[in-house]
Amino acid sequence: MSAYRNIFSLNKTAFFLATAILPLGSVYAQTIPSLKDTFKKDFGIGTALNNAQIDERDPKMTEFIVSQFNMATPENIMKSALIHPGWDTYNFEMADKLVAFGKKHNIKINGHTLIWHSQLPPFIRGIKSADSIRTFFTEHIKTVAGRYDGKVLSWDVVNEALNEDGTMRKSVFLQYLGDDFVTEAFRLAQQAAPKTELYYNDYNNEQPAKRAGCIELIKKIKAAGVRIDGVGIQGHWHVGKVPLKDIEESILQYLALGVKVMFTELDIEVLPRNFQGADVGQRMTANAQSNPYPEALPDSVQQQLAADYEALFKLFLKHKDKVTRVTFWGVNDANSWLNNWPIRGRTSYPLLFDRNNQPKPAFEKVIALKK
């Protein structure tokens, strides 16, 4: 067992003495290598934050986040359903707290997301005219992006606008605004937030067909004279099936378009699933086989997860001159959305830290790449 993990094996008395002497939370910070420091010369290391973490309700968790990550993306609070709940109503409370959290702890914030077909405000369902959809679309981007210009590093301007075959998803925006809505979203964001980087974000856009559609989308935006600074590959993959060749080819092809490349929502699913990707609309039926590891992850799966993360980070390091950020979708396994999707109540283990913020074998493998 690595030396930095031994602290968690101390008996209760020794651990109490250690935490009594050291500042709150510093046991974690001083005994576990820092991801952000390990890769500080390579790329940013980010995480997704939930409301409790943004609110700093647990000082030890805050200390841990600050020790490990130098970038952060909000899980939900900047999605339109929450930040724009009524036609003329905005709720900036939690988003403002996130910006303050980033400033306080020297963590760069990625805004997520301005335009997405999911998690829309309820009032959108009652709109039946293109003029009203366009008004919402325009005012939402101008108001939200404008408020945080210069306060966030970047925005996921449009999220998940493509189908798996690379065609445009049949969203409310495509229906009422046509297939130029993505270009228009970037045009509006460029006007409202000139000091903010602008990204397109999607899952499975490392797969050849969807990648081709994403490339055409980027070319179309650029051909219109509109700024797009980067493309986010979400990175929701499955243990033992990480598509390393497709990922590498995507890095190279996106870079050739003159945009930055980042991995924006990284996690590796270890539970059974009958489809690939991250379409929140998809669901599976719970059964006896769907939650196979309720108490702990078997060592064989744990080692495969570690091997997958090691291979991924080898690839990221190979292209560190091209990859600007790697963001994990959650701080630890307890925070992962995969505990509740596509089946609620499962116990998932997709990240580098377990439910107590202790490093897993995958973490050790990733850190060892820089030794």
Write out the catalytic residue numbers.
Answer: 160, 265
Q: How far apart are CA 194 and CA 189, in angstroms?
A: 8
Supply 6's token pair. Answer: 């031994």
CA distance 304 to 261: 26
Residues sharing a CB contact under 8 Å with residue 300, sequence separation 6 or more, in sequence order: none
Cα separation, 231 vs 181, in Å, equals 17
Instruction: At 227, list the tokens.
Output: 């700024």
For residue 191, what is the DSSP state?
Answer: H
How many residues comprise the chain? 371
Q: Which residue type sits at 47? A: T
Specify whether the CB–CB gap between 144 and 187 falls below 8 A: no
Cα–Cα dist 1/33, whole Å: 14
What are the Cα distances from residue 132, in Å, to 87, 142, 174, 325?
10, 15, 14, 36
CA distance 316 to 322: 9
Complete DSSP assignment for 289-345: TS---SS---HHHHHHHHHHHHHHHHHHHHTTTTEEEEEESSSSGGG-GGGTSSSTT
Q: Position of tokens 């590959």?
A: 233
The answer to whether residues 206 and 243 touch, using CB atoms and an 8 Å cutoff, is: yes
- Does residue 73 sit in helix, strand or coil? strand
Residues 6+ apart with CB under 8 A from 288: none
**Cα gap 285→283, rounded to integer Å:** 7
Assess contact for 332 and 353: CB atoms under 8 A.
yes
Largest interatomic CA distance in the chain: 67
Please check whether residue 159 is in contact with residue 112, taking contact to mean a CB–CB distance below 8 angstroms.
yes
